[in-house]
Every structure is written in C-alpha cells, then in structure tokens.
Structure 1
Amino acid sequence: MDLWSCKHMGFSGRHMNSLACRCLSFVFIVLVFRALMFPTFPNFGGFQQNNLLLVHSSSSQSDSEFGVRKDKFLEVPQIVWGLNNQKIAFARACLTARMLNRTLLMPNLSASLFYKEVELLQPISFDKIFNFERFNSLCKGFVHLGRFSDISNRARVFELQKGSGRKWTVERDLNQLRQIKENSTDDFEVIRIVGKNPFMWHDHWPVKDYAKVFECLVLVDEIAEEAAKVVSKIREMGSSTRRGRDTLRTNVDFKNSSSQPTPYVAVHMRVEKDWMIHCKKLEQRSSINQICSSKEEIVERVQHIVGMRGSTIIYLAVADSLLEDSSILSGWNEGLLLFEKKKLGVWDIYKKYPYLIKSAIDYEVCLRADVFVGNSFSTFSNLIVLERTQKMIRMGVTRSCGLDVRWPSYAYNILGESGGPQRWMTEMSDSNLQAISYGTNNISC
C-alpha cells in the first residue's frame, strides 16, 4: 500500500487501514524533510555529520563575538619558574580557557624562584603583581579572568589530567582539548587541570594571540611606581654625570634637550650561575654555539653598537642574588656611564621585595630603555623585544634591519655588523611561541 492508494481508498477499508496510512504518511514527510535539510551524497562519506559539526562551530564563533562565557570556568595549578616563564604560562592558560569558551580562574603565581622543591614555593596571587580590573578591561571579548568567589557550585568539578614526557605530543595535547570541548563537560561549572605545571603545556596559538594577552598585563600601581623611580634615577644620575660631556649620539636620535628625558641603554646581562649552567647544556643538546655569552663578549659587542660613544648611559640588569661575578662594571670603555642597582642607589627599592617583583621592576626598566640589548635565548629578553616590536609596529615600522628607528633592540649572543650585536625584532607572524619560549638565533634581521 502506498500513499496514493491510501488517499483514494474506499470507505469500507478506511477504518481498517487508517492507522497504517497515517504512519506511512508520517514516514514520507520525515524522509522528505530529511532530504531537503540534510542531503547526503555517496561520494562524501560522513558529510552529514561534518556538516552538523560545522554549524556548531559557526554558532560558537558567533557567540564568542559577544565575549567569553562567564558562567563556566577553567582552573589551573600554581604557576612557577621565572617571571616571564610565568607570564607565558599564564597566557597559555588564558588561551586554553578561550578555546574551551571558559573564564580562567585567577591563578597563583610564584614569588620565589624555587620550582623543583614544591614545598619551597611562595605562592602570590595574580592581582598582587598585575591589575585584575585593567586586565579584564583591556582583554574584553578576547579572554576573561574570574575569581573563585564567582563559582556557584564547587562540588561539581571535572579534572583534566595533562600528560607529560615525550609520548605527550603536541597532537595528543590538542586532541585532548578538542575532545573536552566537544564532549559533555559543559555540565561541569569548573574544569580543573592537574598534572604538569602550565609552562610545560604544548603550544597551539600564534604569537599574535599571546601578544594580545601580554598587552593586557599591567603592573599594579605599587610596582609600576617603583619601576618609575628606578628609571627616573637612571636618567637623573646619567644626566648629572655626563653634564659637560659630548652629546650622546647612537643609532637613534638622542637629542640632549630640556624637553626630552635623558636617554639610556639597558643591557640584560645574562651571566648568572643558573643561566650559565642552563645555556651550556642547551648548546650541547642543540649543537648551537650562539647561546652562552661571557661578560667579556657582552662588553665587546655592546660597545660596538654603531654610533655608541662615550657618555652613553648604560644600565646593567642582572639577578643579583644569582650573580657570582661582582666585576660586571669593569672592562668597559672609559667614558661609558655604567650603572647597576647598588651604584645607582636603588638597592633599597629592590631588597624589600621577593624575586618575582624584583624581576618585574627590572623588566619595566628594560622595556622603557631607549635601546635594549639582551640574549635571544632568554625568555626575559624575548618578551621585552616582543613588546618593543609591537611599539614599533604601532608607529608604522615593520622591519628595523638597517634602519635608524625608535625602540631598537639587539641580541648580544649573535654577532652583527661592525662587531656589534645583531639587530632584533620579534617575528609576529609565527604560528606558535616556540622561538620565544625556548629561544632562537633566527631573530628576523
């Protein structure tokens, strides 16, 4: 019996077969609707399922335009290691939360440098270093930071175990995140990541995404003011010391006038004992001999920056507690005005803070310098150059090689022109943060 025969059936058979006709009619309508809405083709196996996934993805993308979801959260372990490794770990956690369309619960950072002995870690809240409100304001619609008090039900938590070791590949890590996103974890208000510390997570996001998060990290007023005091002291001491000497001329236009602050060069002098051990092992593993730099090599190359002459003010940024060589001010050309924390008279500012805040102050001092010189395998140097690159890009400069530009940076571990350090800009189009996280000798110029 088909639909047509049902329609023209006589009265006597209508009662007997009415139920069958109705069922057949319903099935026919469903099949027509399915054919119109979800077409399938023999040559495209699984097309129907993929089409549904694409619709879901498009819907999620549209929702994200209105901001990150604030009723679902991602929790991460305490973040460890040095300041800039912690900033990368924090950004990686933010981007993980963004991928899962969740708010990141404000994590604890680590005030101390001890990262192997967990019991020695000194936890410090994120908002003791960076401005919580400013972060959410600057990153609005991109990532969002929440507080634990925002959680309504702390009992329902989904624990996500992060793997480690060589078997835990980039692909496995990304597949894990995709499965979590697609599965029914939306029932849980909180996803808690457990396992290896966040800095060891694999990287799945482009440099520009990380840069966006870094732009939202603004120091709290207390630390920013301390950094401003150090910068002011450098300019003041340099100005008074060089008064009467030749006008400073370097690769940027330094004009000594009352309307402009006295310029200075900041050198991230990475010669501390922890670094020398690390960089030598790294050179052996990577077969690259452009990682470690002795004090003598740094001095020689910095002095050969084109245009560097006497009366140049140089601030040497070092981790004093890890420094074994106290002669970092010796061996430089006569006439260069060299300062470090103690000679500058700002040690009292630094000594009252834990390692993390000391590093944050030095970072800001280096970031504001007219010229910056660092090591391309140092995370500290890398993030400073990234921010300085962004400043130049906003000024319309996309390449600094061979040009006299504002905010120039150099890598002293790589030999450049005239025996000086290599000019350095961050490659903002990189698809991941590998070069910045672990260093490279390919630095754009």
Structure 2
Amino acid sequence: MNIILELNHLKQVSLPTRPVVCKGLFIVIALIVLRAIVSPFLAVNPSEKEGFYDPTADLLPGIRRGKFIEVPQIIWGLNNQKIAFARACLTARFLNRSLLMPSLSASLFYKEVDLLRPITFDKVFDFTKFNARCQGFVRLARYSEVSNQTKPFKLQKGTGRRWTADKDLDQLQQYRRSKADDSEVIEIVGKNPFLWPDHWPVKDYAKIFDCLVLVTEIETEVVKVISKIREAGQRARHEAGSSHSKQRRDSSTNPPVPYVAVHMRIEKDWMIHCKKWEQRSKSHEICSSKEEIIHKVSQITDLHRPVVVYLAVADSLLEDDSITSGWRVGMVAYEKKKLGVTDIYDRQPYLIKSAIDFEVCSRTDVFVGNSFSTFSNLVVLSRTERLYNLGKASSCGENIGLSSYAYNVMGDDGGPQRWMTDMSDTSLQRLSYGTNNVSCH
C-alpha cells in the first residue's frame, strides 16, 4: 500500500515536467535535421583541401604559439636561401618554437649586404599553404603575433672551422633548457647564420621544401614558360611528321608533349670555380663542356624524339651564345631568348627568375643536371620526394617517369648516370656541396 502511494506521488510530481521534456526533445530532433541539411554545404571539397589551414588546430606537442625564433635576412642564391630557411625552420622545431617569417634576398650580391634588396617570404612563397602543408611539423608566424612582453634573447651563432656540428648542437641543447627559453623571442645573431652546421636528415629538409608553394603571381609565370616549351614540342613533332596530325594537335584532346630540361653549368664563373675544385679534389667528374653535355644527353635511351630540350642557364653570365646549336637530330634545343620568354624573366629580380627556372626543371619529364650544383641537387631531391610519394624507391631500369640524370658522371651504359637522392642520408652535406657518388636508388 505504501509503495502504491509513493508511485502516485511520483506521477504527480513528474507531470508538470512533461511539457519541458517534450520541448527539449523537439529541439534536439530539430538540430539533428538541420545539421543533416546544412552539412553537405559546409563540407570541404577534396580538391580544395590543399592550402586549407586551421590556425586553431593543435600543433605538434611542444611547438608553442607564444614562443618564437627570429633570424636575420637570408642571403645568397635561391637554393642556398631555401636550405637556410629550412634550417631555420628545423632549428625552431628543435627549440619547440614557431619561426617568425624571415626576409629573403631578391638580388644576388655576395659582399654588398646593403644591396641585397630584402623581400619578404610571402612575396615568393604562399604563407598559408606553407603552414597548411607543414601543419604539425613546423610553423611560420607573423610578427604581429609577438606581444613584446619580454626583450628578445640574442643567441650568438659561431662561425668558422672551429664551430663544428657537435658544438652547434650542444649550444641548441643548452639553450633549450636554459633561462633563455623564458624569453618570448630568441633572436639568432652572427655572421652569415645560414651557414650553421647541419644536424637534420635529408627527409626533414625534403618535407619542408615540399611545403614551399609559389605565390599565384609567380606560378602563373611558370605555367606560361612550360606552355611555351610544350608548344615548341608540338611544332617539332608536327614538322617531323609524327603521329600528331593536324586533326589531333589540339592540346585539350592530346596529352602534354614531354620535354627535357638541362641545367647547363657552363657559365664563366662556374667553369673557373669547378676547374679549381677538380684540381683540389683530384676528380674529373665536376666540370663538363657544352659538347660533353650534348653528347651525354643524346645517350639517354628513354627520350622519344623529336623532343624539346630546355636549357636552364644563367644567361647574363654566359659567354657562349651558341648553346642551342650542335644538338643531335631530333633534339631541338631552346633557351629563354629562342623560346620567346625573355620578357617574363627580364621584369623579375634574380630570386624570382631562379624560382621560375627551378619549377620548370622540377616539373620536366626528364631532368639532366650537375651533381655538384646545389640547384641540380635540390631539383633531384624534389623529384625523388615525388617518386617516393608514388611508392617508387628506385629509377633503375626502364623509364618510370620523373627520370633524372647527372651529366658530369658516366653511367654504366656510357650515358649520364641515373640519379635519385639518398633519402636515408642523415646530413645535407652531399646535397649542399656536391658529390659524384650518385645512383638511381
């Protein structure tokens, strides 16, 4: 009897709450329906995912948003600047900090530092896409993120032969745990701090280089140059009576015509430098004349002739203006002037010119370069990274696409040596200073 009375009492108490419960249930159902309707419109298109960067997303544990590394203006050639930038990123990563967006150098002066024409990173490479592609690995920050609550701690980097890689790493480990870590900004100072000894494996550099995407304005120029090269290839095939007939020359129905890019190091300054290099190292596989390069390239077996050969060369330092002559039958050589793209290059500073040529070489079907050139080494590194992403760890044997060769090293077949970067290398030493120990895996 007591139980029945208690149940009746509970019913009387719960009755007034029923309208509230029903109302709450109705709201939940309405939210679920609304989400089902709206979600498709809010979803990110898979084609738009590249470059999508969530600035509020969690970073790799340890990389702090409120702690920064600052480096001075980065100088020298494009690829030395890319290496220096990557080294700065990896140093910031080691110290669990974000790298403040550095200035690059638009012009090329080795000693006149006041003439280096600084250019901010985001005038060359896409800031947002870099952080999107490298999210969780390294992070770039803008100076507007700094609160200036504490004075920057100045970290002096050593230079010279006595400043070894071990000493440099010991310094970084020391300041990682010292009171300097309390500072909001650690400022790297010293003479040419981009010459820090190397501590990072090649694969880490490759990761950062892969995050570097040209801004739209420069990318547009790259596309124009490559289009001109492929158009020249269409003409060469048509004139040779190839299978591309008049009815099939429309690029919208045919695959793009392949081209070869050759990084032709025969400029006066390079020849003086490499001859001295050969004497010191007692090697004969550093320099190559125009005739030697032409002979080596003509030995490549995976070229389907006729083929356009684009010659990437520093025109202003070139004394031989006949580089497009003397090529074998079926190999049509073009440089900037003959291709009709000098206007694209002439209106750009040095750094942008180099960036355009780098992409033209990186995206070619076959690349041929010099294994003692930093430019050639980083092009091959880029192409090797793409092959690895495709699951291909070797380019030996038959052509697998994205082939690269070193024309200064003799291959087993008498032609240039097939070339892939050793992605297991623990140092960038061989890429920065060159080697004739290259292979196809």
TM-score bracket for the superposition, by shorter chain length:
0.7 to 0.9
Note closer, same or farther for the CA distance 1:310–1:142 as it changes in structure 2 (3 Å cut): closer
Note if contact 2:262-2:369 (Cα within 8 Å) is conserved in structure 1: yes
Q: Offset at 1:75?
A: 0.6
Matched-pair contact (CA < 8 Å) for 2:76–2:108: yes
Matches within 5 A, 1:208-247: 208-245=203-240, 247=242
Letter in structure 2 aligned against 1:386: L
Contact map agreement 1:301 1:421 (CA 8 A) in 2: yes
Paired residue for 2:405, among 410, 419, 432? 410
Q: Is the 8 A contact 1:306 1:418 kept in 2?
A: no
| 1:74 partner SS | strand
Residue 393 of structure 1 deviates from its aligned partner by 1.5
In structure 2, do the counterparts of structure 1 residues 210 and 307 end up closer, same or farther at CA, with 3 Å as the change threshold?
closer
- Tell me what 1:279 maps to: 274
- Distance in 2, matches of 1:437 and 1:137, equals 27
2:366 & 2:241 partners in 1: Cα distance?
19
Is the contact made by 1:67 and 1:140 (CA closer than 8 Å) also made in structure 2? no
Equivalent-residue separation in structure 1 for 2:185 and 2:413 (angstroms):
56
Identify which of 111, 120, 124 aligns with 2:119: 124
Contact 1:233–1:344 (CA under 8 A) maintained in structure 2: yes
Task: Name the CA distance, whole Å, in 2 between partners of 1:205 and 1:428.
Answer: 12
Match of 2:284 in 1: 289
Question: How many Å separate the matches in 1 of 2:393 and 2:305?
Answer: 31
1:338 alignment partner, SS class: strand
CA deviation profile, 1:264-296 (whole Å, cap 9, x unmatched): 000011111222232223223333221111111
Structure 2 residue aligned with 1:375: 370
Residues 1:203 and 1:319: Cα distance change in structure 2 (over 3 Å): same
**Is 1:359–2:354 an aligned residue pair?**
yes
Quick one: structure 1 residues 294 and 133, their matched pair in 2 at CA, closer, same or farther if it must change by over 3 Å?
same
Distance 1:103 1:390 in 2: 25
The correspondence for 2:325, drawn from 327, 330, 335, is 330
Q: Which ranges in structure 2 are unaligned for 5 or more consecutive residues? A: 1-57, 244-250
Deviation at 1:310, TM superposition (A): 4.2
Conserved in 1, the CA contact under 8 Å of 2:325 and 2:333? Answer: no
Give the counterpart of 1:420 among 415, 420, 435.
415
Residue 65 of structure 2 aligns to a residue in which SS?
A: coil
Determine the C-alpha separation between the residues in 1 that align with 2:159 and 2:60: 34
The answer to whether the 8 A contact 1:266-1:372 is kept is: yes
Is the 2:232–2:308 Cα contact (8 Å) retained in structure 1? no
Helix, strand or coil: the match of 1:226? Answer: helix
* Equivalent residue number for residue 86 of structure 1: 81
Deviations 1:24-56 (Å, cap 9, x if unpaired)?
xxxxxxxxxxxxxxxxxxxxxxxxxxxxxxxxx
Q: Find the partner of 1:76 among 71, 75, 79.
A: 71
> Aligned residue for 1:166?
161
Equivalent AA in structure 1 for residue 95 of structure 2: L
Partner secondary structure for residue 191 of structure 1: strand
C-alpha displacement of 1:261: 0.4
* 8 Å CA contact 2:417, 2:439 repeated in 1: no
Q: Which consecutive unaligned segments of at least 5 residues does structure 1 have?
A: 1-62, 249-255
Matched, 1:433 2:428: yes
Q: Does 1:109 align with 2:91?
A: no
Q: Is the 8 A contact 1:67 1:142 kept in 2?
A: no
Identity of aligned residues (%): 65
Check 1:413–1:154 CA distance in 2 against 1; reply closer, same or farther (3 A cut).
farther
Alignment correspondent of 1:53: none
Quote the offset at 1:326 in angstroms. 1.0
Partner of 2:176: 181
* Deviation of the 1:236 alpha carbon: 0.8
Q: Secondary structure at the match of 2:64?
A: coil
Q: Does 1:388 align with 2:374?
A: no
Q: How many residues align?
A: 376
Contact 1:78 1:197 in 2 (8 A): no
Note closer, same or farther for the CA distance 1:206–1:367 as it changes in structure 2 (3 Å cut).
Answer: same
Distance 2:356 2:324 in 1: 21
Name the SS for the 2:187 alignment partner. strand
* Change in CA separation of 1:271 and 1:154 when aligned onto 2, cut-off 3 Å: farther
Partners of 1:242 and 1:306 lie apart in 2 by 18
Query: Is the contact made by 1:64 and 1:101 (CA closer than 8 Å) also made in structure 2?
Result: no
Match of residue 148 from structure 1? 143
Aligned residue number for residue 260 of structure 2: 265
1:348 pairs with 2:343: yes
CA distance in 2 between partners of 1:91 and 1:356 (Å):
17
- Is structure 2 residue 412 aligned with structure 1 residue 444? no
In the other structure, the counterpart of 1:54 is none
For 1:290 and 1:257, the matched residues in 2 are separated by 43
Instruction: Encode CA deviations 1:240-283: one digit per residue, 9 max, x unaligned.
Output: 232042659xxxxxxx9943101100001111122223222322
**After alignment, is 154-163 or 340-349 more displaced?**
154-163
CA RMSD of aligned residues (A): 1.8
Alpha-carbon distance in structure 2 between the residues aligned to 1:336 and 1:322:
24
- How far has the Cα of 1:435 moved from its partner? 1.0
